Structure 1
Amino acid sequence: MTPGRRFRIYLLEARFQFVEVLREPMFAIPTLAFPLIFYLFFGVIMGTRGVSLAVPTYVLATYGVFGVLGPALFGFGAGLANERDT
């Protein structure tokens, strides 16, 4: 099997896993909505009360990392537990 075909298989597997995870509301809602809600509340609404504009920028970066790491850690752990269970 050529490296190009192998890479294509990996991309297809990643795509199908991503679609499968998005179809589960117990995963999609917290991991996609919570970082946005936290940023809007703490960064935009409460972050500009008498402080510099650096606070919303800092909070955006922080919740951006939270938004990336949360699904990665939760998805890996839950996926591993499901695979072990079957």
Structure 2
Amino acid sequence: LAAALPLLDWVGFDVKAPFAEYAPIVGRDGGPAARAALARLLASGVPHQIRCTVPPQLDETALDRLRAELAALGVTHLVWQTYRLTALSTEHSA
């Protein structure tokens, strides 16, 4: 990421969940790496959009935690995207 950022004009960065809650959402503990990548992006000055496609597993309390975590990192605008269940995401169809 550090090598790529100077070459980029813009970055869309999708945050999946509060960083401590990544594993249940993405299937692995990627929260620390996602947090570090986001911090690096924010420090780089590259224009960006931070967004979250809200999965059904996240309740309003989790979304509040996510908002607070992102604000603490310096995110001033977050785009919420609607989660759409697809045939490929059958693990969420229960």
- Bigger relative contact order, structure 1 or 2 (CA pairs below 8 A, ≥6 apart): 2
Normalized against structure 1, the TM-score is what? Answer: 0.28
Normalized against structure 2, the TM-score is what? Answer: 0.27
When you count helix as a share of all residues, which structure comes out higher? 1
Q: Between Structure 1 and Structure 2, whose CA radius of gyration is higher?
A: 1
When you count strand as a share of all residues, which structure comes out higher? 2
